[in-house]
Amino acid sequence: MLGINLKECYKLMKMTRKTGEKVFVGLSGGVDSSVSAALLQKAGYDVTGVFIKVWQPDFIEPARLFYSGGCTWKEERLDAMRICAKLNIPFFTLDLEKEYKKEVVDYMISEYKAGRTPNPDVMCNRYVKFGGFFDWAISRGADYIATGHYARTTQVESKKLKAKGKENIKYQLLAGDDKNKDQSYFLWTLKQRELSKTLFPVGDMEKPEVRKLAEKFGLNTAKKKDSQGLCFMGKIDMKEFLKNYIKEKPGKVLNEKGEAIGIHDGVFYLTIGQRHGFKINEKTPSDAPYYIIDKNIEKNTIVVSQNKKLAKIEDEENNKVIKLKNINWTIDEMPDLSKTYSARIRYRQSLEECKIVKNKEIFELHFTNPQKAITPGQSAVIYDGEVCLGGGIIK
């Protein structure tokens, strides 16, 4: 069928596969999940495609969504259906609008109202893809689910379980091979229940390789652009979206000396490190951009600077320590706290060396170097080499 050798692509799947195992693939209408379905079918799995319908706001018109870089769910669903028709596999639509609205959208709005900057993609994975979809698939006889995430899993022995005479196999979450596309950062909330029954077929591949496979398979998504932003918003401005749920509250923009130099529409809409969303009173086209380096929820003020390196580094010692809440360890075992690990506090940030410290019931990350633009509400994700140990929400 294909003019290339796919032996390496199927190696992991063949090692764990049993004849007739059922896999429900979450098809988004994009190239990554499409190729995942094709690879699994080629490897001999009994594959079913599932399109997950999520919530979309009524105030974003379909035409406006399309021109902003997004697609309506109907368009995405149609692409997913075409993939299933091409592969001759069953197709289902799973309506998870309520779950998405509650666990992702409502959560996101409440976090912004509290002055924090949430990561909705993390919550979508936890409650929708590896929550509602996972439970639905397993309840209908699926042995596994699969997604197009750029991540990997592997099996390891647990010394703690072996010592207790129990089943000693654990599943580790690994970063994807394509470092430009690695999505393990968004998967830190997964537990053994999900990892043991999840396949990431494109996790050991690079994006150009995935697109070439899509062309070889004759999939209509081969040249489709990657989605941008939140799945229901495309590239539509977050502030514009939040205005429908959080009332504007004009406030002052301060410089580093505490002098008022501009105005903004509400501190709720703004994030540390951001360079838009506020107005400077006297600014010429030749001026360097201003960056938000601090914000005060109670006073409804922000502090800006033309030196973005100043973002939250006034007290270097304190910015070496980050407190976390809602901790999850993907292997269900606390890491060795005597070791040095690495972590990132935002997606695509370079990994930074740190220690994990447990202070009573609170976990802290003690970094070797001060961290810039620490943003409460974002995820801090911890790694041991390429192994994603887990993470937490920055307090």
Active-site residue numbers? 124, 231
Q: How far apart are CA 151 and CA 149, in angstroms?
A: 6
Largest CA distance in the chain: 71
Q: How far apart are CA 36 and CA 3, in angstroms?
A: 18
Q: How far apart are CA 25 and CA 124, in angstroms?
A: 16
Q: Helix axis angle, 207-217 relative to 31-42, nearest 10°?
A: 60
DSSP element (H, E) containing 195: helix 192-195
**C-beta of residue 156 within 8 angstroms of C-beta of residue 170:** yes
Closest CA to 243 of 116, 124, 375, 109: 109
**C-beta of residue 146 within 8 angstroms of C-beta of residue 198:** yes
What is the 8-class DSSP label of residue 318? G
- Sheet with 278-280, strands from edge to edge, namely 278-280, 260-264, 251-254, 301-305, 291-296
Closest CA to 158 of 168, 143, 167: 168
**C-beta of residue 122 within 8 angstroms of C-beta of residue 186:** yes
Rg (CA), the chain: 23
Q: How far apart are CA 345 and CA 391, in angstroms?
A: 10
Q: How far apart are CA 374 and CA 346, in angstroms?
A: 9
Per the structure block, which two tokens stand in for 344? Answer: 């990132």
Tell me the torsion sign for CA atoms 184, 123, 74, 84.
positive
